[in-house]
Amino acid sequence: MKLRLELPERFPVDDIYAKLVALGSEKTDRDARQAVAALALLLINHIGDVDVIDEAIEIVQRLPSTDS
Amino acid sequence: MTDQRKDKQNPIRRGRRPLKLGNFVYPQYDYRPLADDEAQAVKRRPVVVVGAGMVGLTTAIDLARKGVRCVLIDDNDTVSAGSRSIAQARRTMEIWSRLGCAEPMREKGISWSRGHTHHRDDTVLSFTVFPEGGSRFPSFTSLAQYYVEHFLVERARTLDHLDIRWLNRLSGVRLNPDGVELTVETPDGTYRMQADWLVAADGAKSRVRSALGLAFEGDRLQDKFVIADVRCGADFPFERNYWFEPPFYDGNSVLRVPQSDSIWRIDWQIDPTADTDSELAPDLVRQRLERMLGEDTDFEIEWVSTYTSEHRLMDSFRHGRVFFAGDAAHQFSPFGGGRGGNSGIQDADNLAWKLAAVIQGRAAERLLDSYDAERRPIAERNLADSKKSTEFITPKSDHSWGFHDAVMNLAKVAPFAKSYVNTGRFAVWPVLENSPLSLPDSEGFADLARPGTPVLDCPLLSADGQPAWLADQIGDDFTVVTYGPTPAGGAALLSALSAAFPTRSISIGAAGASDEGHDFRDVDGAFARLYGAEPGTTYLFRPDQHVLARWRQFDSARIAVAVRRTLGLIGIGLNGIGLEQEKAR
């Protein structure tokens, strides 16, 4: 697997998490969805490695349903 | 069997009033009552083609040119109403050029190479469509389907082996192991006919397919569009424009594409729940067009209709002695980049030479299996690409809308996002990947002209200095193209091969080389670049102008094996060369 899943050192995870949540604040549902999608597209373009992106998508697809 | 009740409600008859749209007067082709002998006895025909649209006409013309007697039936007596399939791809024009009917289409058509995609008030993408290699045809010739069919009929009428029967509607089909029995309805009553082979080119609602109870799996999408041909005096540049959420229309999208005769194709998406008749109300259509074209623009509406996209594909394009081609076999969204009509013409191109070869006893019947093996994967790819474009244009979920919105707005600030803007990826060059007929490369070559690739046209100079095109030198026969002087042994090989199937040879000299010893000269090294040619490089083209095999040196034995293997004749014995000997080389 090429996708890195370990926690990087000195990474401000709480700050990042807060920023991600803030992306959707005071936005309509459609704008919030756009924000997350745009973030994904920007990062995917930056990564530029289809294998890594496919591995990430596979993990996301396997996440359990939140409705259950 | 077909829906007889529907047929009774819609009896086939002659004497309908010809339509006139703008400059184009719809031709009314003559219905001919059956000859007495045909009316009294069931005749057997080598090939019957059902459907005189672009695909059926192309198939029938190609067969007839090759000397195969062919009956073409159609339930109408004129050409298609409205512009419909307008983007005639370069490869399609090359096929029609081989059939001898591209010139009037090129003269009548127009071309465009620039396109723009807009989101609200911003232009998010501008692009230029360049043809691959050098060709006398642009990437797309914009020409309405009614013109295309008109020119095809004109060509068909010059062919003695082609019997076109207008106002002949298929009402029944029965498939037998050795042929097909047809029931055909005419204004004078019903008759029966037998065919050795049947080509169903009768469109998405194929009667042949229905009559044989064959599935056409897929989806009908909810999205609805109004489509209009508008004659317009405005001085718009000849460019394709696609708007999302345009300031001049409340719906999601609008497309504007130029055609000949100052006509513009304009499509606009409507609410999927909207009443179609209301959306076609003349006042509403005119009001919407006034906003789209500008209130000061004079225009006339030539034709207006609605459509809903469907994505469908048959499990197999061959069922016994019946072949399905064009929309009868596969249906894509019009936003696939002009893949519908163009891929149907490629179907015809692929099928006709094989069918002719088998009928004329030059090939084993198993050659016909390669039609499905070669064409269905291309249809699958077209279908997949068409679905991607359709999803971008008309997102089907809130989640999908999120990405659509993100791409449109990112494209205004981040160049990479422009590549995600997908208003229809234009039809890719139809390479027959993994064809069972192609011989894999055994020597080093670049991918560009790999086996399965249609001819990459390029300019040549004839031995007497006249400009020529490579594509004109290839096709109908197997063609051996050598880079450098005609090799020793070439004439003997061609003579031997031609006993089984017409085969010819051309030699191309390097740009700047002397004219001696070759038939043509490369111009500016275009041939050498496209084909990775070095002295001795040899290409073998199929009758449909696709590369069958290539080698670094001319080798009579390999060429002979390749031709005979393609025709399914290995083992019959020609000059004592067989597959086993080829493997041992």
Is the Cβ–Cβ distance between B86 and B259 less than 8 Å? yes
Q: Establish, for the pair of chains A and B, how many residue pairs have beta carbons separated by less than 8 Å.
A: 38
Measured CA to CA in angstroms, residue B494 lies from B244, B501, B572 at distances of 57, 10, 18
Q: Per mean pLDDT, which range of B126-140, B142-156, B555-569 is the poorest?
A: B126-140
Query: Which residue among B406, B414, B420 sits closest to A34, beta carbon to beta carbon?
Result: B406
Is the Cβ pair A33, B399 closer than 8 Å? Answer: yes
pLDDT for residue B572 = 42
**Which residue is it, tokens 């005419």?**
B186
Position B485 pLDDT exceeds 90: no
Say yes or no for a CB contact (<8 Å) between A30 and B399.
no
Structure tokens at A26: 């005071």
CB atoms within 10 A of CB B525: 13
pLDDT in tens, A5-22: 998 888 899 999 999 999
**pLDDT interval class at B573 (50, 70, 90):** very low
ipTM: 0.93
For residue B227, pLDDT beyond 70: yes
Instruction: Decide if B178 contacts B45 (C-beta within 8 A).
Output: no
3-state SS class at B385? helix
A46 touches chain B (CB under 8 A): no
Q: Is A37 close to B405, i.e. CB distance below 8 A?
A: yes
Kindly report the nearest CA distance between residue A22 and chain B, in angstroms: 17
**B108: Cβ–Cβ under 8 A, 6 or more apart, which residues?**
B143, B147, B151, B260
Q: What is the pLDDT of residues B58-109, one digit of tens each?
A: 999 999 999 999 999 999 999 998 888 999 999 999 999 999 999 999 999 9
Asked whether the beta carbons of B77 and B171 are under 8 A apart, the reply is no
- The reply to whether residue A41 touches residue B401, judged by beta carbons under 8 angstroms, is no
CB B311 within 8 A of CB B387: yes
Q: Which of residues 9-28 of A touch B (CB under 8 A)?
A: none
pLDDT digits (tens, 9 = 90+) for A22-47: 999 999 999 999 999 999 999 999 99
pLDDT at B131: 60
Query: Cβ of B406 and A30 within 8 Å?
Result: no
**Cβ within 8 Å, pair A45-B416:** yes
Check if A3 contacts B (Cβ < 8 Å): no
Considering the entire predicted model, what is its pTM?
0.92
**Contact status, residue B30 vs residue B166, Cβ threshold 8 Å:** yes
Give residue B373's pLDDT band: very low, low, confident or very high (50, 70, 90).
Answer: very high
Residue B65's pLDDT is 98
Instruction: Give tens-digit pLDDT for B4-22.
Output: 334 444 666 665 555 776 6
Q: How far is A36 from chain B (nearest CA, A)?
A: 8
Are the beta carbons of A34 and B417 separated by less than 8 Å? Answer: no
Two tokens, residue B499: 């006993």
The DSSP code for B157 is T
| Backbone Cα Rg of chain A | 14
What is residue B514's predicted lDDT score, i.e. its pLDDT? 67
Q: Inter-chain contact A38–B410, Cβ cutoff 8 Å?
A: yes
With beta carbons under 8 A apart, name residues in chain A contacting B407: 37, 41
Largest CA distance in chain B: 77
> Where residue B336 falls among pLDDT bands split at 50, 70, 90?
low
Best A28, A30, A45, A60 residue to mutate vs chain B (most B CBs within 10 Å): A45
Q: pLDDT, tens digit, for every residue of B104-113?
A: 999 999 998 8
